[in-house]
Amino acid sequence: MQTHKAKRVEITIESVMETRLTTALIKAGVTGFTVLPVLGGSGRSGQWNREGQVSRAGGMVSVVCIIRPERLDGLLDAAFSMVDRHIGLVTVTDCEVLRAERF
């Protein structure tokens, strides 16, 4: 089956920033993304867990974005401007996709 090279960008960020991030991504020309829930985690700012958050402020989500390689830089700039002051993580992986016309 015919596949096409693409980049898979995964941005883990505080829930409270989700809308701001996705708005920035759309502005940066991203055509789609998928948001995954995150149960908990650990990092420099300590360990946390979704069960046991009273606050909307707690919690993170993971935003996955598949894009053509040539659009990577624009996306990373947009993502970086978000995670810069905030807690968050950005990873990029090479991948292949079916139906490249969709990206």
Partner 1 sequence: MDGILALAAENLLSPIILFFALGLLAAFAKSDLSIPEAIAKGMSIYLLFAIGFKGGASVADHGIDATLLMSLLLGVILSFVLPVIAFVLLRGMSRLDVTDAAAVAAHYGSISIVTFVAATSVISSAGLTSEGYMVAVAAVMEAPAILSALWIIARYGKAGAAMEEGLMREILLNGSIVLLVGSFLIGWVTGAEGMDRIAPFIVAPFQGVLCLFLLDMGLVAGRGLRSARAVLTPGLLLFGVVMPPIGAMLGLGAGLMLGLSTGGVVLFMTLCASASYIAVPAAMRVALPEANPSVYLTLSLGVTFPFNLTLGIPLYLAVASAVTGG
Positions touching partner 1 (CB under 8 A) are 14, 16-17, 20, 45-47, 49-58, 85-87
Interaction mask 48-87, ligand AMP, x per CB under 6 A:
x-----------x---xxx--------------------x
Contacting range for ligand AMP; rule: CB under 6 A; set: 17-25, 41-49, 51-59, 73-81? 41-49
Among 1, 2, 44, 84, binds ligand AMP (CB under 6 A): 44
What is the Cα Rg of the chain in Å?
A: 15
Token readout for 40 is 């908990």
Name which of 20 and 68 has its Cβ closer to partner 1: 20
- Cα dist from 71 to 7, 67, 98, 102, whole Å: 9, 7, 18, 14
User: Which class for 38: exposed (0-12), middle (13-18), buried (19 or more C-beta within 10 A)?
Assistant: middle
